[in-house]
Structure 1
Amino acid sequence: MGKRKQKKADQFDSSDADSVSSSSTAFSELTLAQETERVDSQEFSLGNYLDALYEKRGSTREKALIGLLSAFEGAVLLDFIESRCITLLHQYLNSIKRGSATEVCLAARAIGFLSITAGNGDNTHEIMEDSMPSLSRALISGPDAVRISVLDCLAIITFVGSNNWEETETVMKIMWEIIHPKSLSKAGTIIKPSSAVLVGALSAWSFLLTTLHGWRIDLDMWTEMISFLCNLLENGERAVRIAAGETIAVIFEIVVAGKLSSLTSDLGSTEDIRGKPKWFIYLLSLKEKIMLLVSNLSMEAGGKGIDKKCLNMQRDTFQKIYDYLKEGDQPMTSLKLSKKQGVLTTSTWTELIQLNFLKHFLGSGFLKHAQDNDFLHDVFDLKPDAENGLSASQKRIFRSSGDRERTVVLNKDRRMGQIRKGAIMSVDEE
């Protein structure tokens, strides 16, 4: 009776295994087919968006740009742009040349996404070079929304595509002319940017400053810049003050503490300044003024009708700047990306400015690009996800393979533990 039951059980196990295997195979094939269909459907949609960029109707091109931006936010589309990168670029530039303000803003952001998706290489340098003339014209003549979008785009394509500091410096000079205009208009008055444009220009300029490497020291230039930024700390617009403060922090980190360290002693001390060059004494006085302003801004009182969220942001930002200028304490931040990649951390003003700007530009696409974009992995020194680029069926195979490896290791550890336990028991018995 026992044997008959065993036989019945064996028969059941065999058929059950075949059934499970068959179901598993069918499920895998179905999933693979669905995954292929999804990829093909996305490729079809992206192709339609690209075709629509050739249309004469502006509203049609705008809808196509919105569709493309949504796709580029949701995934790192390297395969799609591999043979279409320059084609996409030229259509985006065409939208900037002849489109409405809305279309220009969308196209500028699309160029930035194209560059950051392509990453380092010849294509991104070509994107930067080919885009500069059209973007520069739009920056001069466009409304505020256009100018802000173009500033963001210029910052991104230069950050990704610049081959040397001279190229980056050229773009930064264009931005600084917006921040601190010196030329007079025909009416004889200085054309000042709006607060929104000024904030955009300061953010873009300081973002590019974080790439500073080799350069010629121009002490007059840097002290003039710091002096002007110091004056902006007294601006009535809170957003302008915050942007100016962060820019000052980056300048002190990279230029003063980094590049001028061989020419300066301790800027934190007013002792024995006799015999120091005039620029050093001036820079020291600027730092003292900045610290006083920063300290006051970190403790600014609230009041009725004040935006508390923005006020708290100002207090927090300027407390960090004060701690850095006073004690050298760096701003520490962290951002969780995924279980496998863990947490993205920053520990310098350079890293914080880069993180904030890229989060601002990528918007809802930041997390996806931080997880899957090789360029961002290089910027933030992130470990890429091993499952990046795999289909759903490939991910299951990869995970099951990892599970098997973990099982083997656990079994080996268990056996070794049993051997050690047996050896201890043998010793005790002796």
Structure 2
Amino acid sequence: MAKRSSGKHKKAGADQCDSSDADSVSSSSTAFSDLTLAQETDNVDSQEFTLEKYLDALYEKRGSTRENALTGLVSAFEGNVLLDFIENRCITLLDQYLNSIKRGSAKEARLAARAIGLLALTVGTGSNAHEIMEESIPTLSRVLISGPDVVRTSVLDCLAVVTFIGSNNWEETETTMKLMWGIIHPKSLSKAGTMTKPSSVVLVAALSAWSFLLTTLTGWRVDFGTWTEMLSFLCNLLEKGDRAVRIASGEAIAVIFEIVVAGKLSSVTNDLESSDDKPSKPKWFVYLLSLKEKIISLVSDLSVEAGGKGIDKKSLNAQRDTFQKIYDFLKEGEHPMTSLKISKKQGVLTTSTWTKLIQLNFLKHFLGSGFLKHAQENELLCSIFDLTPSAECNLSASQKRIFRSSGDRERTQGLNKDRQMAQLRKGALVFSAEDQWIH
């Protein structure tokens, strides 16, 4: 009938608990690790099963079914680096994506174009990436000429990504860039009427994609006349285009000056200064300097453009900020400095050139909310931005599970050790207090 046990019994019970504490915690740790591993295995298996269902759905005749499948695949590839899933399915996925572009609605074609770009980003450089580029460009080119704007913008993004990753040489990249320039400046095409004047949204997408590919250029590879024509046309867009077009044009101009013009002007200037007989300046050199001064004047005005009633302040501030950076670069030679925190382990991604800034902005735009995940685990992005890949970067799904499981065990063992030390300290304090009471 006793409702409480004696202190002796309590102490015995406590001693018994203390003596088995390490064993019980250890067994709990093992059980926890096994449970975590099982849950992660289930999650991976569940994800792969879902992705397989999406792939199967791409063969369906109903367009809405294929659209839903593409939406699921795009979301999955945005938020994860699915190397295991594409290992034996890369070309199968590509074929179905291209079929969706050929036979699907505008929504389906837009999703499929985006899915191709994400597939290329996941594959990374190599033979598969080159095959994706070669197989995609013919279909994408046809849609780019005649498709609706919402599809053309997605196709331009896709073309930029697959060429950036899959191109083996400058000639291949230049072919895609010429296609994009035909969108930007239709009158430059030899065949009149091949392209119509693009809408603002398509023009911005084409300028951004073209600039992104331009960042892969090394050295002066195109004749000077072509570059001056391009700069002159882009200069006109600074005067006539809307705000988004101006910003995209300004960024293209900055990349051209950084990669192409700066070195050429510098070499000629050095030759002129080192010559004893002071030769006359080449006509193209004089023209380029005058064009540069005109661009600097326009850029200066755009960096301080006044607002007004009904003006979109966010876009106006973006314009001012962009053109202030361009002005500082063209006038003072200052390069734009940017930083973006990736993770605690990988630290901060920094850029100090227009080339890297354009690459960063384009890939952030393309990957959206998935950019940080890819920056942490995608070997290609780590290489582009000189980031240290996470410890799991190149592991397969099964290897990742083992890696995470071992990490969980190490953390649990550390916690167990801390608990045991705390209990020992607690016991020492109790003994000390009792000893003082006896005395």
Q: TM-score interval w.r.t. the shorter chain? A: 0.7 to 0.9
Whether 2:354 is the aligned partner of 1:346: answer: no
The aligned counterpart of 1:230 is 235
Which residue of the partner structure matches residue 403 of structure 2?
Answer: 394
CA contact (8 A) 1:387 1:398 kept: no
Q: Displacement, 1:185?
A: 8.3
In structure 1, the partner of 2:377 is: 372
Counterpart residue identity of residue 115, structure 1: A
How far the C-alpha of 1:171 sits from its partner, in A, is: 0.4
Which whole-Å CA distance do the structure 2 matches of 1:189 and 1:158 have between them? 23
Task: Note if 1:34 corresponds to 2:39.
Answer: yes
- Per the alignment, residue 202 of structure 2 pairs with 197
Cα distance, 1:17 vs structure 2: 1.2
Q: 1:152 aligns with which of 135, 151, 157?
A: 157
Q: 2:130 matched to which residue of 1?
A: 125
> Contact between 2:33 and 2:409, CA under 8 Å: does it hold in 1?
no
Cα distance in 1 for residues equivalent to 2:412 and 2:325? 45
Q: Match of 1:155, as an amino acid?
A: A
Unaligned runs of at least 5 residues, structure 1: 406-430
Using the alignment, how far apart are the partners of 1:81 and 1:379 within structure 2?
Answer: 22
Matched residue SS, 1:234: helix
Distance 2:278 2:250 in 1: 26
1:42–1:5 Cα change, 3 Å? closer
Letter in 1 for 2:229: E
- Separation of aligned partners in 1, 2:67 and 2:316: 36
Distance 1:37 1:266 in 2: 68
Establish whether residue 294 from structure 1 lines up as the match of residue 303 from structure 2.
no
Alignment partner for residue 107 of structure 1, among 96, 109, 112? 112
Taking structure 1 as reference, are residues 196 and 81 closer, same or farther at Cα in structure 2, changes over 3 Å only?
same
More off after superposition, 381-390 vs 101-110:
381-390
Matched-pair contact (CA < 8 Å) for 1:108–1:153: yes
Look up the match of 1:53.
58
8 Å Cα contact 1:330-1:347 kept in structure 2: yes
Cα distance between partner residues in 2 of 1:290 and 1:192: 24
Map 1:314-333 → 2, pairs under 5 A: 314-333=319-338
CA positional deviation for 1:24: 1.1
Relative contact order higher in (CA < 8 Å, ≥ 6 apart): 2
CA change 1:367–1:189 in 2 (3 A) is: closer
Determine the C-alpha separation between the residues in 1 that align with 2:195 and 2:144: 17
The alpha-carbon deviation at position 375 of structure 1 amounts to 0.2
TM superposition shift of 1:73:
1.1
Once the two structures are TM-superposed, the CA of residue 264 in structure 1 deviates from its matched residue by: 4.3
- Aligned-partner residue type, residue 403 of structure 2: Q
Aligned-pair CA distance for 1:400:
6.3
Whether the 8 Å CA contact 1:165–1:215 is kept in 2: the answer is no
8 A Cα contact 1:337 1:344, kept in partner: yes
Q: Is the 8 A contact 1:172 1:208 kept in 2?
A: yes
Look up the match of 1:83.
88
After the TM superposition, which of the residue ranges 188-197 and 202-211 deviates more from structure 2? 188-197
SS in structure 2 at match of 1:233: helix
Instruction: Measure, in 2, the Cα distance between the counterparts of 1:328 and 1:276.
Output: 22
* Offset, 1:23: 1.1
The structure-2 alpha-carbon separation of the partners of 1:273 and 1:340, relative to structure 1 and needing over 3 Å to count, comes to farther
Secondary structure in structure 2 of the residue aligned to 1:385? coil
Q: Separation in 2 of the partners of 1:404 and 1:329?
A: 52
* Sequence identity (%): 75
Give the count of matched residue pairs: 399
Matches within 5 A, 1:138-149: 138-149=143-154
Is contact 2:37–2:405 with CA below 8 Å preserved after alignment? Answer: no
Q: What's the TM-score, normalizing by structure 2?
A: 0.85
> SS in structure 2 opposite 1:337?
strand
Instruction: Return the letter of the residue paired with 2:196.
Output: I
The 3 A distance-change label for structure 1 pair 79 and 260 is farther
Question: Are 1:283 and 2:288 an aligned pair?
Answer: yes
- CA positional deviation for 1:387: 4.2
Give RMSD over aligned pairs: 2.6
Q: Distance in 2 between matches of 1:275 and 1:56?
A: 70
**Secondary structure at 2:240 match in 1:** coil
Change in Cα spacing, 1:364 to 1:393, as seen in structure 2 (3 Å) is same
1:232–1:244: 8 Å Cα contact kept in structure 2? yes
Show CA shifts across 1:199-224 (max 9, x none).
11100000000000255340101111
Paired residues of 2:219 and 2:259 also in contact (CA < 8 A)? no
Q: 2:363 matched to 1:358?
A: yes
| Alpha carbons 2:220, 2:260 under 8 Å: kept | no
